[in-house]
Amino acid sequence: MKTAKPSQDTAALHANNAAAHDHAHAHDDAHEAHDHGHAHGHDHAHGHFAAGGASLESALEMAEAYCRERGEKLTPIRRKVLELLLASGRATKAYSLLDEMRQIHPGSAPPTVYRALDFLLSAGLIHRIESINAFAVCHDLTQCQHGILVVCQQCGNVTELDEPKLRQALVAQIEAAGYRLSGDGIELKGVCAQCQANEQASAEGAKAAAHS
C-alpha cells in the first residue's frame, strides 16, 4: 500500500468533508444537470465508485480535493485522463485514452498520457488492470482503500469488492505463506453478467441455426 489507511473516524470525517465540499458549491446543480445523461449511464452500468450515485463532476471534485490534501495537484491533463476513465466506466487501454485525448487536444503525445496515468496510479485513484493491460478508476476516490478487483476478461468491466476483512484475511494467508504482494491490487479474472448473457445468446443462436 502506498497510502496509509485512515482510521474509521478519519474515513467518516473525509466523507463529511466531501459532502460539505459539494454543498459549498452552489453551481453544482447546474453541473449535475449538464452531466446528467453521461453520469446516469455510467451509474447504471458501474455504480461502484466512491460516493455511489455521484455525478462525474462531483467525483472529479472529490479526486481534486483528495490530491490537494496530499499536497499534490490534479492538473488539467491528469483530471482529463481521470474523467475519460470515469466516463468509460470500465478498464480502458492506454492507447484508447490517447486516442480520446487527441480528439480534445490534437497534439497529445503518448508520454503525456502515460505520465498522467502514473500520477493517478501513485495517488491510488486508478488501478492498473494487469490481466488485460488496461486502467480503471478505483471504486474509492476519496480514501483509496482498495478492495479486490474482479475483471471481465472479455469487455473490461471491473468490479471492486469492498470487503476489507476478506482482503485482510487473504493478505494474512499470503504473508503466512512467506509472500508479500508485489502491488496494491488483488485481481481476479472473470466474465461479467452481460458477457455471460451474450455468450448464452450466441450459443442459443448457433443451436437454432444448426437446427434450421
Taking the C-alpha atoms of residue 138 and residue 2, their distance in angstroms, rounded to an integer, is 14
CA dist., res. 167 & res. 184, Å (int): 11
Of the candidates 168, 146, 150, the one whose C-alpha atom is nearest the C-alpha of residue 159 is 150
Q: Which stretch binds Zn ion (CB under 5 A): 37-45, 85-93, 170-178, 194-202?
A: 194-202
Q: How many Cβ atoms are within 10 Å of 54's Cβ, its own excluded?
A: 23
195 binds Zn ion (CB under 5 A): yes
Query: Is the separation of the CB atoms in 50 and 30 below 8 Å?
Result: no
- Of the pair 59, 108, the CB lying nearest Zn ion is at 59
Q: Does 94 bind Zn ion (CB under 5 A)?
A: no
User: Which of 97, 138, 141, 151 touches Zn ion (CB under 5 A)?
Assistant: 138
C-alpha cell at 57: 463532476
Candidates 16-24, 93-101, 135-143, 164-172; binding stretch for Zn ion (CB under 5 A): 135-143
Those residues with Cβ within 8 angstroms of residue 121's Cβ, 6 or more apart along the chain or in another chain: 127, 128, 135
Residue from 152, 158, 186, 190 touching Zn ion (CB under 5 A): that is: 152
Q: How far apart (Å, rounded) are the C-alpha atoms in residues 112 and 121?
A: 14
Could you say whether residue 63 binds Zn ion (CB under 5 A)? Answer: no
Pick between residue 47 and residue 76 the one whose CB is nearest to Zn ion.
Answer: 47
Per CB under 5 A, which region of 20-28, 155-163, 175-183, 199-207 contacts Zn ion? 155-163
Residue 154 makes contact with Zn ion by CB under 5 A? yes
The reply, when asked if residue 138 is annotated as ligand binding, is: no
Please choose, out of 44-52, 69-77, 82-90, 137-145, the segment that lies near Zn ion by the rule CB under 5 A: 137-145
Rounded distance between C-alpha atoms, residue 210 and residue 212, angstroms: 6
- CB 140, CB 49: distance < 8 Å: yes
Which residues of this protein are in contact with Zn ion, per CB under 5 A? 138, 146, 152, 154-155, 157, 192, 195
